[in-house]
Chain A
Amino acid sequence: MSGTVTAPARRVAPIGEALLALLGIAAVILAAWAVPWLKFILTVALAKGIAVLGILLLLRAGQVSFGHSMFLAIGAYTVAFLAPALPEALLLLPLGAAIAGLFGLVIGLFVVRYRDIFFGMLNLALSMVLYSLLEKLYSLTKGTDGIRVSGLRFAGITPDLATQEWVMFGLALGLAILFGLLVRAYLGSPMGRALAGIKTRETRLEFMGVSARRVLLAAYVLSAVMGGVAGTLVAMTSRHVTPQLAYWTSSGELVFIAVLGGAGSALGPFLGAAAFELVRVYAAAAVADAWQMILGAVLLLVILFAPGGLWGMLAGRLGRRP
């Protein structure tokens, strides 16, 4: 048994998972130190991994959002809009997360009433609304040109570019660990267990007096917050935000990373994101026109033949039967 796209395959002992996580952290730091140009890619990969953690939460409930990058865009544009007035990165970060969370609450109140295709496509539709507003309201957002983010301060200090790269890398890594642990704890908590109940038999949850909508809403808001955090990190790292962040293909990438990494562990999204960003650097340059086709083909192959994703393959080697 290799599990399915939405459920864990074999269980890996917590100590094994912890060891793998430490190994991963060490590998990421070593790679960033040894190959300087990888630092930027790894920072973005870590940020995307945080956003994909949110997709993973929703996947546990059997739901997939094709519009999740709207929260990433909200976080990123929060930074872009506020940076001139408030250049302090350590304040912008929680602000972006909070505003994304607020949007998540409002949008969530609407979308958690729907399941499956409606949930997926309503999210897609709302993200396209945000995309077209970002694109068309030129006076506010400079349209597809996007907005440059410059002159950020970290705890009152304006670092030089090389230092800022390291600071962003450290921030992304720290937050990735923090949110990875948070999601792990959340999935083990009653709220997290109830998510799986939404996927199998929602009515049973209701019979036990648990509101399925509230369970899904809580997960949705948390996933929006993580999307916002990822967005602020991406904006501060690439120092340029465009409406493309909210486009449906960006959301598709997040879903892709979630499936590629595997939904079995909080490590999955980061495995997936690192593999995705690294392959993209090489593949996008070589076959720019066929990039999406390759993504689609890999997605299809993973779903049909390796539904546990990268994590599932790893766990298959290391794990024991549940």
Chain B
Amino acid sequence: MGAWFSENGLLIGLALLDGLANAALIFMVAVGLNLVFGVLRIVNVAHGSLFAIGAYAAASLGLFLASLGLPPAFGFAALVVAAALVGGLLGPLIERLVLRRIYGQEEVLQLLVTFALFMILEDVQKLVWGVQPILQDAPMKLLGTVEVPFGEDTIPFTAYQLFLLPGVALATLVGLAWFLRRTLTGRVIVAVTTDKEAAMAMGIDAAKVTLLTFTFGAALAALGGALASPTTSLVPGIGAQTIVLSFAVVATAGLGQIEGAAISALMIGLGRSIAVYLAPEFEVVVPYLIMVAVLLVRPQGLFGVLETRRV
């Protein structure tokens, strides 16, 4: 172990840090997907597009603010404002115009509808932002790098990825758990998730809760994208990659599990970044392998509860 570790140890350390940042981003998207599924009973394939559009919007807004001569700190405001705009505009639009027509219908039909939305939004990105890579990394540069001690060495890593991303993800996890369990609105959402008819009988406006939840989920996806935008060049296709990844996270954890999604996001994020350093050809394959391995043993996911069979 000794010789191998001194040779590859730093790489492993870097992979662990990368994986953590990665997991934080995937978690943001997966948790929104999960929340929306809980209330709407629809797995929204277009959820990944909201991530991508959030990322593009944040980068554009950041570049625009910078071109006005504003200090780079405004880049952070751009991230949040872009996410809120994308979630607040596209969320209600999609829910009201399209999804509302297909509630309670066959699952395959719902799947096809969100798939169609996904195809449309994919090209919207290309038409608005083109196919050239876009990079706006001012927020990441602003926070600088940290020397992370690792054994006898240190690893330079950006503070943005080391503190901000995991911090926001953790805050989302804790905040969401608190919101759903301790506030009235949150409990209403849980009630609709558990038994929509009973909740409606108690006087809950399910249509309103649905709209609210979908908008909130869309904003989470857009925020995930906005936060990811400083770390990478934006190219077409990130939406597809994101939805498949976050579905892998959700399926591995079990549909509807929020804390579970955090753990499986960590597993998949770490697995992927370790693969990047050890066997880069298989980076893309690792998340699916983890998902398939888990589903083979536990079809309901790691933390999922078996649903009673339909009779």
Chain A interface residues (CB < 8 Å from chain B):
4-6, 59, 62-64, 66, 110, 113-114, 116-118, 120-122, 124-126, 128-129, 132-133, 136-137, 199, 201-203, 248, 252, 255, 259, 289-293, 295-297, 299-300, 303-304, 307
Q: Contact: A299 with B288, CB < 8 Å?
A: no
Digitize B103-135: 1 where CB-to-A-CB distance is under 8 Å, 0 elsewhere. Answer: 000111101110111111011101100000000
A300 to B122, CA, bound (A): 15
Min CB gap B247→A, angstroms: 5
| Contact of B123 with A64 in the complex, beta carbons under 8 Å | no
Q: Inside 8 A of A129's CB, which chain B residues have their CB? A: 284-285, 288-289
Nearest A residue to B112 via CB reads: A303
List A contacts of B234 (CB < 8 A): none
CB-based nearest B residue for A291? B123
Among B119, B127, B295, contact of A289 (Cβ-Cβ < 8 Å): B127
B309 at the interface (CB under 8 A from A): yes
Most buried by A among B113, B116, B247, B310: B116
Interface status of B240 (Cβ within 8 A of chain A): yes
Interface centre among A62, A114, A117, A291, by most B CB within 10 Å? A117
CB neighbours (8 Å) of B102 from chain A are 304
Q: Say if the beta carbon of B70 comes within 8 Å of chain A.
A: no
Q: Shortest CB–CB separation between residue B164 and chain A, in angstroms?
A: 30
Q: Is B299 an interface residue (CB 8 A)?
A: yes
Q: Is the interface of B mostly helix, strand, loop or mixed?
A: helix
Contact A116:B111 (CB < 8 A) given known A125-B288, A132-B285: yes
Q: Give Cα A299 to B106, complex, Å.
A: 16
Q: How far apart are A213's CB and chain B's nearest CB, in angstroms?
A: 12
Given contacts A6-B108, A116-B108, contact A128 B281 (CB under 8 A): no
Return the 5 tightest CB-CB contacts between A and B, nearest first.
Answer: A296-B119, A293-B123, A296-B120, A132-B284, A299-B116
Q: Is the CB of B112 within 8 A of A299?
A: yes
| Chain B residues in 8 Å Cβ range of A63 | 108
For residue B311, CB closer than 8 A to chain A, the reply is yes
CA distance A299 to B109 in the complex (A): 11
* Total contacts A-B at CB 8 Å: 123
Complex partner residue of B115 from A252, A289, A291, CB under 8 angstroms: A252
Residues of chain B having any CB pair with chain A under 8 Å: 43, 98, 101-102, 106-109, 111-113, 115-120, 122-124, 126-127, 240, 244, 247-248, 251, 281-282, 284-285, 288-289, 291-292, 295-296, 299, 309-311
Q: Report Cα–Cα, A290/B118, bound state, in Å.
A: 13
How far apart are A111's CB and chain B's nearest CB, in angstroms? 10
Query: CA of A201 to CA of B296 in the docked complex: distance in angstroms?
Result: 24
B251 proximity list for chain A (CB < 8 A): 118, 121-122
Residue of A nearest to B131 (CB): A289
Asked whether B123 lies within 8 Å of A303 as measured between CB atoms, the reply is no
B111 and A137 contact, CB distance less than 8 A: no
Chain A residues positioned under 8 Å from B247 (CB to CB): 121, 125
Quick one: closest B residue to A133, CB to CB? B285
Write out the residue numbers on chain B whose beta carbons fall within 8 Å of the beta carbon of A291.
123
Residues of A within 8 A of B116 (CB): 295-297, 299-300, 303
User: Which chain A residue shows the least CB distance to B122?
Assistant: A292
Judge whether B108 and A122 touch: CB under 8 Å: no
Sample (11) of A-B pairs whose CB atoms are under 8 Å apart: A62-B107, A121-B43, A121-B247, A124-B244, A125-B247, A125-B288, A125-B292, A129-B285, A203-B310, A297-B120, A299-B119
Q: Would B296 and A136 count as touching, CB distance under 8 A?
A: no
Q: How far is the CA of A126 from the CA of B149 in the complex (A)?
A: 39
Instruction: Please tell me if the beta carbons of A5 and B101 are within 8 angstroms of each other in the complex.
Output: no
A5 to B112, CA, bound (A): 10
Q: How far, in whole Å, are A4 and B112 apart by their CA atoms in the complex? A: 12
Smallest CB-CB separation from A207: which chain B residue?
B311
Provide the residues of chain B in CB contact with A132, threshold 8 Å.
284-285
Distance, CA A114 to CA B111, complexed state (A): 15
Chain A residues positioned under 8 Å from B289 (CB to CB) = 129
B311 touches A203 (CB 8 A): yes
Q: Are the CB atoms of B117 and A300 closer together than 8 Å?
A: yes
Interface pair B285/A299, CB less than 8 Å apart: no
B285, A296: Cβ atoms under 8 Å? Answer: no
With the chains together, A59 CA to B106 CA distance in Å? 11
CA gap between A5 and B310 in the complex, in Å: 22
Q: Are A248 and B112 in contact (CB-based, < 8 A)?
A: no
Please give, as numbers and ranges, the residues of chain B lying within 8 Å of A4 by CB-CB distance. 106, 109
Q: Which residue of B lies closest to A5 (CB)?
A: B109
- Contact check: which of A114, A126, A290, A303 meets B113 at CB < 8 Å? A303
Are A295 and B119 in touch, CB under 8 angstroms?
yes
Q: For residue B240, which residues in chain A have a CB less than 8 angstroms away from its CB? A: 248
Q: Which residues of A contact B112 (CB under 8 A)?
A: 5, 64, 255, 259, 299, 303
- Interface pair B292/A293, CB less than 8 Å apart: no
Chain B's nearest CB lies how many Å from the CB of A221? 19
* Distance to closest chain A CB from B103 (angstroms): 13
Contact A64 B111 (CB under 8 A): yes
* Apart from A292-B120, A292-B123, 13 more pairs, CB < 8 Å: A66-B115, A116-B111, A120-B108, A122-B291, A122-B292, A133-B285, A252-B115, A291-B123, A293-B123, A297-B116, A300-B98, A303-B109, A303-B113
A216 to chain B, nearest CB (A): 14
Closest residue on chain A to residue B301 by CB atoms: A118
CB distance from B38 to the nearest CB of A (A): 13
CB A265 to nearest CB in B, in angstroms, measures: 18
Across the interface, A114 reaches (CB within 8 A) one of B109, B299, B309, namely B299
A297 surroundings in chain B (CB, below 8 A): 116, 120
Give the residues in chain B near A293, CB-CB below 8 Å. Answer: 119-120, 122-124, 127
User: Residues of A contacting B311 with CB < 8 Å?
Assistant: 201, 203
Contact A290 B288 (CB under 8 A): no
Within 8 Å CB of A120, what residues of B?
108, 111
